[in-house]
Structure 1
Amino acid sequence: MTTETTYDPVTGEHLKDWGHRPGKQFPELLARANALRAEGFGLVKIRMELEGEIPEVPPTMDLRATSAVPFHENIETGDADEEDNLAKVRQTMTALMRVPTIEAGAIMPDACPAGPVGTIPVGGVAAARNAIHPGMHSADICCSVMITDLGHADPKAVLDAAQSVTHFGPGGRPNGKRFTVSMGLLDAFRENPFLNNPKSLRMAQEHMGTQGDGNHFLFVGRSRKTGRTAIVTHHGSRGPGAVLYKNGMAVAERFRKELSPSTPKQNAWIPADRQEGQDYWAALQLIRKWTKANHNAIHQATVEAARAEVGNRFWNEHNFVFKRGDLYYHGKGATPAWDGYAADATGLTLIPLNMAEPVLVVRGKDAAHGLGFSPHGAGRNFSRSEHRRRMGSVTPEQMLKAETAGLDVRFHAGAVDASELPSSYKKAEGVVRQIERYGLAEIEDYIDPYGCIMAGDVPPFWKDKKKGRRA
């Protein structure tokens, strides 16, 4: 009687330990390795047999010299706060331009810092060669705005209808109140290694029809050109985007350690020509589709609840990565302003300013000194905490009344979030003036405000959890 000898199989972890990089070649390498294993070869012998397949390690990419890559400034200052803000933006952009993949940069009129020095600022654009930087689109991937013309519908009826169907705050919709997600889109998630995980798939369903918190809003106003009512929504890709960002940063960090250890962690990148880069690029396009569907779901539910007629509808993202030629343009709070930037681009884009000001409908001018971008909004000259400090004894309710007189402003959670009031943002007229001065876009219409819904001031979810534990 003979006993057949069995061997533990060679796995992908073995290949990575031996120096092989994950990619399309992995299945073939594993098949060859396990064929040798079945013939009785030991792991050491198999490793030696496959050594010729290990790609050469590229040379380490060092940070560029300071100011080796200049950046365009499309911003002016008029007071001490603006001077201080611009100094900080220049400092962080100068550091950002040292990243070895970056070939050009620009800042918009709404520029303001968004993290440690070297982090791309809000209102910043960075063009990279053969590199996708997850940290340069941040966790709020595909933060975007959509508008729908609702004819001559009553703005109050539209805002009431919207309030009855939209969802702000942390988390998603409970069972029984969820919006439908395309099965084709979910299947596409399952086919992408960055999105095929239980959390992404669950959140893709739970978060459809939600808008999150912070500066995300639902705005109702009237076109100055036509007098027709319009709804504008502002939000990003919610939970699915946040999970993709986390997974992308983990892969980018692995490449950072290999390719450029001196590059700050927030600027790690995934090489676009590697399998991981191709998969991440595909994942970004799927997240874009999900986000557009999310806007559409809220708009359509509002249309049906208000029994309004539907006119034109278009949208644009301002927190994303765009490929143009052989460069990857990272817009962090910056709106693409060139024709055909996406297959569904209409030539018109939206620039909201603050809840008491119009939403601008613009046509981009593809300005070279803006790297083909325009602002995404008003931006801030100081932080939310500094705004709260400057309020002094004035309450959020008093400030709301003074700054939004005549408007129907609602906070979904009930409590007023003072850091989202107009005084927390740069002056709208200044941003408009700079758009025109620098030739970044042509303003075609103004959607004057009737009112809006904001998330509202709610305790962070982790504070609620702490309270629960103490109780």
Structure 2
Amino acid sequence: MNITGKTLIEMGFTSGKWFPEAIEYINTNQLKDEALHSYLEQFRPGPVQHLKKQPAPFHMNIKAENELEESNVNSVVASMETLMKTPTLVEGAIMPDACPTGPNGTIPVGGVAVAKNAIHPGMHSADICCSVMLTDFGKADPKKVLDAAHQNTHFGPGGRDRNTQFRFPSALLKDFEGNYFLNNEKMIQAARAHLGTQGDGNHFLFVGKSKKTGNTMMVTHHGSRGPGANLYTRGMKIAERFRKELSPETLKQNAWIPFDTEEGQSYWEALQIIRKWTKTNHEVIHNATLNALLVEAEDRYWNEHNFVFKDNDLFYHAKGATPLDPKFMPDITGPRLIPLNMSEPVLIVNGETTNSNLGFAPHGAGRNMSRTQHRKSKTGTTQEIFIEETKGLDIRFFSNEIDITELPSAYKNAKTVRNQMGEFGLGTVIDEVLPYGCIMAGDWQKNAPWRKKKRRRK
């Protein structure tokens, strides 16, 4: 009976580059029993990796300018200090839009963590490849662009029904089917149904005019939806298996997959396929809007701001940080995009890598308080708050329910973020997309089916 990789894993070994050579040697020499165990002993994992006594260095590209910001920055720093004790991490950085998320030791939004030869699924989170794309519509009427986009996008939970789904590219389907992490029915069904959808939360479709040219521009913001969330779940399970073996002291959210294992290679490949899917997700919405208006794009570019970027044996985990350095984006075709909030311009930036920015800029305005805190801080009716904060703008919620936690006051002061970008050398603004209006999911849970059912029972 021949030994396979599955046999070795069942015997308690973690897959690695040594698997093929070892399997061939074992089967050629028909090793079994004591001879087999004696041969395999050389591949037993090394000593357990302990947390660092002192955190690896991280760069502060942020400063507090009032009491609320001070509390936020202190929380971010405390979390980074714990995070950077993870054995694989060698360097990090915090951006001006940083805010804490999750328990202490979790990478903050606006954080960059550099790991050696390791991929940490928890550091890119479930919203893999959250990204922004811009299309230049020339002199098209911004209202017509927003109207056409409203008819062609999709916000909220779930995907499109069969009648409204976009065609799934055959090459992309082949990629999914060829990857261990992505080749299952649930993943592929989600990839089909979620193509052309934007989700909820802070994801948006924004229309405005270039400050430089006056052209109308559309910007979309969303991630990899169901396929990305499913990959994240599978990645975290694999990482947890390695954590128990390699570094039980490491926090569960910071577990990693060693890159030089079979799982590491396959997971990295899966991330690149999810990146392709997400870019396609943007493109189908933009192209459908162009086609509806019978307009040709004058320009288009995009960038992710929530991903893992590789440079030799270093893996840059950017949790809400915009890559400035071209080495992180092999398909770069233009400058980078940094949205702030619905009432502020989307910044179009270029920039250089410095010792303190590690090749990244902020990804947006961030938050100084939670959604719950923000709701409690507001007075007046939802409609009154909405009218006050969106004067002169065409703001729409796909669910027809206003979400006040996505209004401008929910975010950090945009001027502060821009000033600190300049102060810390985090990119140069070369143009701005001045706001006309935007679409967001809104408070879709307010009239969710389960809520309606609950009301009827009452």
Structure 1 position 338, deviation (Å): 1.1
Match in the other structure for 1:66: 54
Given the alignment, which residue of 323, 344, 352 partners 2:310? Answer: 323
Given the alignment, which residue of 295, 299, 322 partners 2:286? Answer: 299
Q: Aligned partners of 1:162, 1:410: CA distance in 2, in Å?
A: 12
Query: Any idea what the Cα deviations from partners look like across 1:329-372, whole Å, max 9, x if unmatched?
Result: 00000001113422211351000000000000000221220111
Match in the other structure for 2:256: 269
Match in the other structure for 2:436: 450
Change (3 A) 1:32 1:103: closer
* Mapping 1:34-433, distance limit 5 Å: 46-51=32-37, 52-54=39-41, 55-67=43-55, 69-392=56-379, 394-433=380-419
Q: Aligned partners of 2:147, 2:343: CA distance in 1, in Å?
A: 18
Change (3 A) 1:104 1:34: closer
Q: Aligned partners of 1:64, 1:387: CA distance in 2, in Å?
A: 37
Q: Aligned partners of 1:23, 1:466: CA distance in 2, in Å?
A: 51
Maintained 8 Å contact 1:36/1:46: no
Amino acid at match of 1:438: F
Q: Aligned partners of 1:30, 1:470: CA distance in 2, in Å?
A: 62
Q: Aligned partners of 1:323, 1:109: CA distance in 2, in Å?
A: 23
Amino acid at match of 1:406: G
Q: Aligned partners of 2:396, 2:193: CA distance in 1, in Å?
A: 24
Change (3 A) 1:12 1:328: closer
Match in the other structure for 1:41: none
Q: Aligned partners of 1:470, 1:262: CA distance in 2, in Å?
A: 49
Q: Aligned partners of 1:26, 1:367: CA distance in 2, in Å?
A: 40
Maintained 8 Å contact 1:66/1:95: no
Query: Any idea what the Cα deviations from partners look like across 1:166-215, whole Å, max 9, x if unmatched?
Result: 00000000011100111111111111111111111111101000000000
Change (3 A) 1:443 1:57: same
Q: Aligned partners of 1:462, 1:420: CA distance in 2, in Å?
A: 19
Question: Over alpha carbons, which structure has the higher Rg?
Answer: 1
Secondary structure of 2:429's counterpart equals strand
Structure 1 position 376, deviation (Å): 0.2
Identity across the alignment (%): 56
Structure 1 position 23, deviation (Å): 4.9
Q: Aligned partners of 1:258, 1:469: CA distance in 2, in Å?
A: 49
- Would you say how many aligned residue pairs link Structure 1 and Structure 2? 455
Structure 1 position 132, deviation (Å): 0.4
Maintained 8 Å contact 1:416/1:457: yes
Match in the other structure for 2:10: 17
Change (3 A) 1:70 1:303: same
Maintained 8 Å contact 1:222/1:450: yes
Q: Aligned partners of 2:227, 2:237: CA distance in 1, in Å?
A: 16
Structure 1 position 225, deviation (Å): 0.2
Q: Aligned partners of 2:96, 2:333: CA distance in 1, in Å?
A: 24
Secondary structure of 1:344's counterpart equals coil
Structure 1 position 307, deviation (Å): 2.2
- The root-mean-square deviation of aligned C-alpha atoms, in Å, is 2.3
Secondary structure of 1:318's counterpart equals strand
Secondary structure of 1:179's counterpart equals coil
Structure 1 position 11, deviation (Å): 6.9
Which one is further off, 321-330 or 99-108? 321-330
Q: Aligned partners of 2:33, 2:15: CA distance in 1, in Å?
A: 16
Maintained 8 Å contact 1:340/1:347: no
Q: Report the TM-score, using the length of structure 2 for normalisation.
A: 0.94
Which one is further off, 295-304 or 22-31? 22-31
Which one is further off, 257-266 or 320-329? 320-329
Which one is further off, 395-404 or 405-414? 395-404
Secondary structure of 1:459's counterpart equals helix
Amino acid at match of 1:414: N
Amino acid at match of 2:342: M
Structure 1 position 278, deviation (Å): 0.8
Change (3 A) 1:462 1:405: closer
Which one is further off, 344-353 or 291-300? 344-353
Change (3 A) 1:368 1:465: same
Q: Report the TM-score, using the length of structure 1 for normalisation.
A: 0.92
Secondary structure of 2:163's counterpart equals coil
Change (3 A) 1:193 1:469: farther
Q: Aligned partners of 1:179, 1:116: CA distance in 2, in Å?
A: 39
Q: Aligned partners of 1:431, 1:298: CA distance in 2, in Å?
A: 29
